[in-house]
Structure 1
């Protein structure tokens, strides 16, 4: 092991984790302390890290504010969109379901498709949405993705 531990990890990650901690501890019944400039100096990779551990209050009001403030719903970065959707599904934010369905029908990577289907299926009110979306699109999926999602959705078992 080298005698000195480099500080490369925290120099870019620390601002991400600090912002996550602020969101996590924000009482959504109080005025928002956030601004659109929070992500101004972030690289796309930092935005992704910021959402990796979720780290925000998983309440619909927080998700709504997060979406509006940072315009995550119009991001061109699939990793950002993917994490934004997962946070919204975990919070049971119904307005994010169309974006989730859009992602699983237009993106073929199992890395993105499988977790979204699992999140939808785990949400009792959206379980049928997951099943119907899969049924309508399964013939367009790569065979490995289709078979894996079938297992996750407990189809043909």
Structure 2
């Protein structure tokens, strides 16, 4: 049996590469450009399960990608990464309101969160935070669009990985 398995593996190794599955390369289109009068807000979250703590950073840019401002906060008693992402959006929108930005294109890499917001379905875990987001949006913004980033975006020559706070 061992001899047969070894012979089979040897046979597979010498087969032409035409029989091997081609490698798929995913090409992601760039996200749509924001209108000239809009602010783009990138949010992210870093969550530490053992501490139930989250770092919540955000960056505001103009439609050309020039950084306008950035901020972050640390939140304790955060039960999941999804909740951390929602809290990051809430913090960013509060900051946008303070800056009197009234047209926001919000970009997040959290598919579950963007889907929940865009579909108006509220998982129980996010209900309170997303109710806060709705309230902030209703009182402060004339336009708000949530977009999902399915790949790392580059700002100021750096991938958004640097959004992850180092203090966690």
**TM-score, scaled to structure 1:** 0.31
**TM-score, scaled to structure 2:** 0.30
Normalized per residue, the structure richer in helix is 1
Normalized per residue, the structure richer in strand is 2
Q: Which has the larger radius of gyration?
A: 2
